[in-house]
Amino acid sequence: MPHPKTAEALIKCAGPIESSLLPRLLHVTEAAAIAASYQMGRGDKNYADQVSVEAMRRMLNCLDMKGVIKIGEGERDEAPMLFIGEEVGTGVGDLEVDIAVDPLEGTNLAADGIPGAIAVMAMAEREGLFHGPDIYMDKIVVGPEVVKYEKTHPDEKIDLDAPVIRNLEIVAKALNRNIDELVVVILDRQRHKDKIKEIRETGARVNLISDGDLMPGIATAIRGSGIHMVLGAGGSGEAVLTAAAMKILGGKMLARLVLPTVANGGTPEEIEKEKAEKMPRLATMGITEENLNNVLDIEKLAPGKDIIFSATGVTPGILLNGVSLFGEGDARVHSITMGSSGVVKFTDTIYIHDKEKNPLRMA
Ligand code: VTB
Ligand code: MG
Ligand code: MG
């Protein structure tokens, strides 16, 4: 790619969604994060989730758009708000957007007051985000250097089904490192026992996380984060949100839907029961037993051209600080927002509640 040389080439006109909604999206995740932060460490993950959902929905409904939740809190009958299919926004204007939300990603982390909880969402034009069921996806996520490497080495491609060593060899070459200098993040679950062993056998270093595989995925596209690959089965909504960010940052991701009973080694009866329960609903989304196992790349997970993404830290994490609460209800929040035009903003925002009693402060 030629060097841009001019600001004109670097800072481009953004699409309509990015132009109108990216600055506002920040406030949506900020509100959800602040709501959650009041519940941090109180041990009640459901309540922490509930207040984040309410805050996010309230702010989404301030935006001039016709929005539809595509990745949300679950089905209409089990989630009272931000359920899949819910329409949000004022309905004013021409913007029609599909929305993926996770108002509190890492509810356990927030409830326990430990690192990694965030409020997160993405938007795109209609059909711009994968519309799938809330099950698991098997994932592999790597940074843009790997995309570049694959272009000049057509026989060496990251493959969801390849042995871990093959994929790590490619990443090591793309990053000009040894395998033992790489870090792979994976959820610490029984279902990953063999995979964790396999990663360790390659010599790579493993970062086991108790929850929250979304931000580590994004971190693979950010040099200096110390994370080079994310593997394993985690939430499908989290996968779509990761993909939305990776589309903007240029990383690579492959994912495949998997039923929780299958991923977690359920009995044949349990698997059949889950299939009977879930496959009819999946069929309405175009997912059948034949295509359930298709591998989805970023173009499938986040086909949109005008994508925006925002995440705000609730507890401190790999890329974001947590919420700080000051006197008189003031709060300071740290976020990352980005858009398809190629802009990434790290924002440090202070909300002042009572400016006379508690003037703006820097720390
Ligand atoms: C996954 C992961 C999330 O919860 O959804 C996980 O993607 C749930 O996995 O980041 P289990 O069913 O194995 O607990 C998170 O870790 C947090 O929402
Ligand atoms: Mg959630
Ligand atoms: Mg989540």
User: Would the CB of 102 count as within 6 Å of ligand 1?
Assistant: no
Query: What percent of the chain stands above pLDDT 90?
Result: 87
Average pLDDT, the chain: 95
Complex ipTM, two decimals?
Answer: 0.98
Q: 193 and 120: one domain?
A: no
Say if residues 1 and 310 touch (Cβ distance below 8 Å). Answer: no
State the pLDDT confidence band at 354, using cuts at 50, 70 and 90. Answer: confident
State the pLDDT confidence band at 362, using cuts at 50, 70 and 90. Answer: confident
Res 1: pLDDT: 67
Instruction: Look at residue 101 and tell me if it is in a domain.
Output: yes
**Which of 138, 211, 231 maximizes ligand 1 atoms within 8 Å of its Cβ, making it the mutation to test the pocket?**
211
Count of domains observed in the chain: 2
* Secondary structure letter of residue 61 according to DSSP: T
Residue 259: burial class (beta carbons within 10 Å; 0-12, 13-18, 19+): buried
User: Would the CB of 68 count as within 6 Å of ligand 1?
Assistant: no
Strands 324-325 vs 308-313: parallel, antiparallel or unpaired: unpaired
Res 271: pLDDT: 96
Instruction: Look at residue 8 and tell me if it is in a domain.
Output: no
Residue 75 or residue 325, greater confidence: 325
Backbone angles phi, psi at 348, to 5 degrees: -115, 105
Please state, in angstroms and rounded to a whole number, the distance separating the CA atoms of residues 338 and 348.
Answer: 14
Q: 281 and 338: one domain?
A: no
The pLDDT tens digits of the residues spanning 83-103 come to: 999 999 999 999 999 999 999
Rounded mean pLDDT of 205-224? Answer: 98
Say if residues 312 and 332 touch (Cβ distance below 8 Å). Answer: no
Rounded mean pLDDT of 321-340? Answer: 93
Ligand 1 atom, smallest distance to 260 CA: 12
Instruction: Look at residue 360 and tell me if it is in a domain.
Output: no
Q: 162 and 276: one domain?
A: yes
Task: State yes or no: pLDDT of 353 exceeds 90.
Answer: no
Q: 296 and 196: one domain?
A: yes
Q: 141 and 245: one domain?
A: yes
The pLDDT tens digits of the residues spanning 34-78 come to: 999 999 999 999 999 999 999 999 999 999 999 999 999 987 778
Instruction: Look at residue 105 and tell me if it is in a domain.
Output: yes
Find where tokens 């132009």 sit.
19
Instruction: Look at residue 359 and tell me if it is in a domain.
Output: no
The pLDDT tens digits of the residues spanning 162-193 come to: 999 999 999 999 999 999 999 999 999 999 99
Q: Domain containing 69 — which CATH number?
A: 3.30.540.10
User: Would the CB of 73 count as within 6 Å of ligand 1?
Assistant: no
Q: 157 and 295: one domain?
A: yes
- Which residues are CB-neighbours of 191 under 8 A, at least 6 positions away? 232, 233, 263, 264, 265
Rounded mean pLDDT of 122-150? Answer: 96
Q: 289 and 314: one domain?
A: no
Put simply, whether the predicted model's pTM sits higher than 0.95 gets the answer yes
Q: 162 and 260: one domain?
A: yes
Res 301: pLDDT: 98
Q: Domain containing 258 — which CATH number?
A: 3.40.190.90
Task: State yes or no: pLDDT of 138 exceeds 80.
Answer: yes
Q: 79 and 150: one domain?
A: no
Residue 106 CA, ligand 2 centroid: distance in Å: 7
Structural domain of 261: 136-301
Task: State yes or no: pLDDT of 17 exceeds 90.
Answer: yes
Give the end of a domain, one of 281, 301, 321. 301
Query: Measured between alpha carbons, how far is residue 226 from residues 40, 192, 219, 263 in Å?
Result: 26, 21, 8, 28
User: Would the CB of 339 count as within 6 Å of ligand 1?
Assistant: no
Instruction: Look at residue 122 and tell me if it is in a domain.
Output: yes
Q: 163 and 86: one domain?
A: no
**Which of 104, 209, 213 maximizes ligand 1 atoms within 8 Å of its Cβ, making it the mutation to test the pocket?**
213
User: Would the CB of 18 count as within 6 Å of ligand 1?
Assistant: no
Residue 12 CA, ligand 3 centroid: distance in Å: 33
Query: Measured between alpha carbons, how far is residue 97 from residues 149, 310, 342 in Å?
Result: 34, 15, 19
The pLDDT tens digits of the residues spanning 98-126 come to: 999 999 999 999 999 999 999 999 999 99
Task: State yes or no: pLDDT of 158 exceeds 70.
Answer: yes
Ligand 1 atom, smallest distance to 238 CA: 7
3-state DSSP of 252-267: EEEEEEECHHHHCCCC
Instruction: Look at residue 345 and tell me if it is in a domain.
Output: yes
Residue 248 CA, ligand 3 centroid: distance in Å: 21
Q: Is 116 left (phi over 0), alpha (psi -120 to 50) or beta?
A: left
Query: What percent of the chain stands above pLDDT 70?
Result: 99
Res 10: pLDDT: 80
State the pLDDT confidence band at 2, using cuts at 50, 70 and 90. Answer: low
Query: If you compute the radius of gyration of the chain from its CA atoms, what whole number of angstroms results?
Result: 20
Q: 119 and 51: one domain?
A: yes
The pLDDT tens digits of the residues spanning 306-320 come to: 999 999 999 999 999
Res 132: pLDDT: 84
User: Would the CB of 234 count as within 6 Å of ligand 1?
Assistant: yes
Q: 83 and 179: one domain?
A: no
Q: Whose CA is nearest to atom 11 of ligand 1?
A: 234
In our burial notation (b when 16+ CB lie closer than 10 A, e otherwise), range 216-253 reads bbbbbbbeebebbbbbbbbbbbbbbbbbbbbbbbebbb
Rounded mean pLDDT of 134-149? Answer: 97
Task: State yes or no: pLDDT of 326 exceeds 90.
Answer: no
Counting ligands in written order, the one closest to the CA of 52 is 2
Instruction: Look at residue 6 and tell me if it is in a domain.
Output: no
Res 99: pLDDT: 98
